[in-house]
């Protein structure tokens, strides 16, 4: 009886292993027919920088499910990064046509229209995306779009919430730019200083701080600051701009 039980146990184990293997094979085959699985493989490939590989998986996903909105969204992102704005636009539009409340695709449309120089359209899609999911990158793009459309007070409200919830050098720099255009120069100075605390190597924020110091009525402080940062600037355009500012301040 002892050996019989042992034999039965081994048989059960072997059957169990065979059953699991068969299930795994079937599961693998089923996965290959699952558009979501193909999409997930595309996402992994994209994250590893394998965009052409990602495109293959996305085409498989759409062959299996022609209305798979996330696949169209990722296609839009890939072609946006390739600089092919017309194709990116088409894919994002298809994603939104399938799912009108797809925040990532709406944000993608905003980015495409911004690249195309269509500021008002970009703003519209950033607003729609922000209403559905106010992610930090969407909030930043929305605040910038409001600023570019000369809606400064609205832009400031969005960026104030952004620096409160998700402080970053970029957000503080944008806040400073908006405050500067509103004529609130001392507040702009403080905002640029905060940007530099978070990212001391941020050359744009540094140059903006010098400009805000001039605007706030502190030209000597601005001059000393520009002289300090000029040797450290790596961006040739910013370096030339600061040199020009210094020439003007010395007159």
- Phi then psi for residue 246, to 5 deg, are -65, -40
In sequence order, which ranges of 69-218 are alpha helices (DSSP H)?
Answer: 69-82, 85-98, 103-115, 119-132, 136-148, 152-165, 169-181, 185-198, 203-215
The whole model's pTM is what? 0.84
Calculate the average pLDDT of the chain.
89
Position 16 pLDDT exceeds 50 = no
* CA–CA distance, 209 with 151 (Å, rounded to integer): 22
Please report, rounded to a whole number, the percentage of residues in the chain having pLDDT higher than 90. 85
* CA–CA distance, 56 with 59 (Å, rounded to integer): 5
Q: Domain boundaries in the chain? A: 167-251
The third-level CATH classification (topology) of the domain covering 167-251 is: 1.25.40
CA angle 137, 141, 147 (to 5 degrees): 145
More confident residue, 182 or 29: 182
Tens-place pLDDT, residues 144-162: 999 999 999 999 999 999 9
How much is the pLDDT for 180?
Answer: 96
How much is the pLDDT for 182?
Answer: 97
pLDDT-derived band at 9, boundaries 50, 70, 90: very low
Position 13 pLDDT exceeds 70 = no
Tracing tokens 């048989």 back to the chain, one arrives at: 11
Tens-place pLDDT, residues 81-95: 999 999 999 999 999
Tracing tokens 């607003």 back to the chain, one arrives at: 127
Tens-place pLDDT, residues 38-95: 999 999 999 999 999 999 999 999 999 999 999 999 999 999 999 999 999 999 999 9
How much is the pLDDT for 7?
Answer: 32
How much is the pLDDT for 28?
Answer: 59
* CA–CA distance, 243 with 206 (Å, rounded to integer): 14
Residue 76 to residues 29, 84, 90, 119, 189, Cα–Cα distance (Å)? 28, 9, 8, 19, 38
Position 184 pLDDT exceeds 50 = yes
């Amino acid at each position: 009886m002892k050996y019989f039980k042992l034999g039965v146990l081994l048989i059960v184990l072997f059957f169990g292993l065979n059953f699991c293997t068969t299930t795994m094979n079937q599961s693998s085959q089923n996965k290959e027919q699952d558009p979501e699985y193909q999409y997930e493989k595309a996402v992994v490939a994209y994250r590893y920088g394998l965009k052409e590989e990602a495109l293959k998986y996305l085409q498989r996903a759409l062959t299996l499910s022609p209305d798979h909105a996330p696949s169209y969204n990722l296609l839009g992102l890939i072609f946006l990064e390739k600089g092919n704005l017309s194709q990116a636009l088409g894919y994002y539009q298809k994603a939104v046509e399938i799912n009108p409340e797809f925040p990532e695709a709406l944000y993608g449309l905003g980015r495409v229209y911004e690249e195309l120089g269509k500021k008002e359209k970009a703003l519209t899609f950033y607003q729609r995306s922000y209403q559905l999911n106010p992610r930090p990158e969407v909030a930043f793009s929305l605040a910038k779009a409001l600023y570019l459309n000369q809606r400064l007070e609205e832009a400031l409200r969005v960026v104030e919430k952004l620096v409160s919830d998700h402080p970053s050098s970029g957000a503080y720099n944008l806040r400073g730019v908006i405050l500067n255009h509103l004529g609130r120069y001392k507040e702009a100075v403080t905002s640029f200083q905060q940007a530099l605390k978070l990212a001391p190597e941020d050359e744009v924020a540094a140059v903006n701080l010098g400009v805000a110091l001039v605007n706030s009525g502190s030209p000597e402080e601005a001059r000393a600051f520009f002289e300090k940062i000029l040797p450290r600037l790596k961006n040739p355009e910013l370096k030339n701009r600061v040199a020009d500012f210094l020439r003007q301040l010395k007159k």
